[in-house]
Structure 1
């Protein structure tokens, strides 16, 4: 049992250190992109608040670690939303006139 606890502790330390350089948090990502959920589920048109969130998150990126944190957060949050449409999720940046540095799907490798 002690070996398992040690392995878990080391794994947690490695995961934490891999995100240590990120300045963008999952909470910030969630706040920025929550207004996009209605479009991602129902379609229609993208709201101005959603686009403002996209602009804000793009402005908040400082490095690759920030993009990885945001990718994981978007992926984890989207997985919890019934009826999420990943095609719509990945159209939001373009519809808002902003580039997204990656596409998010359930199988996206956010570590790259």
Structure 2
């Protein structure tokens, strides 16, 4: 488990270094954020780095198109990853103090994200 944490930290560090040169958020970046939240969302652990990852990703999503793309990536993850407590996922905006512009759900309509 310690190795997973180290790898996650390394990936986030790489994202921070590369982000200023990137044009838009990628699903890979979103997936790293989701990984940071999984222990909490699967009732296996505390928030950990989840809120920091969410806040960072939200700074990358400046346009409606980027927010819709992010929504699609999260929706795919929500449909793929088993054991997510969607009640906790719905409360992440409040818990983290960051306005997530869409519902974290396998059924969210990303075309309506502004």
TM range (shorter): 0.7 to 0.9
Map of 2:47 onto structure 1: 46
Task: Report the Cα distance in structure 1 between the residues aligned to 2:40 and 2:31, rounded to whole angstroms.
Answer: 15
**Runs of 4+ more than 2 Å apart:** none
Name which structure has the greater RCO, CA cutoff 8 Å, separation 6+: 1
Aligned runs of 1:59-74 on 2, under 5 Å? 59-74=59-74
Which segment is superposed worse, 98-107 or 49-58?
Answer: 98-107
The TM-score normalised by the length of structure 1 is 0.72
Instruction: Kindly name which structure, 1 or 2, has the bigger radius of gyration based on alpha carbons.
Output: 1
Unaligned runs of 5+ in 1: 1-21
Tell me the CA shift for residue 93 of structure 1: 2.2
Matched, 1:88 2:91: no
Tell me the CA shift for residue 46 of structure 1: 1.5
Unaligned runs of 5+ in 2: 1-22
Equivalenced residue count is: 90
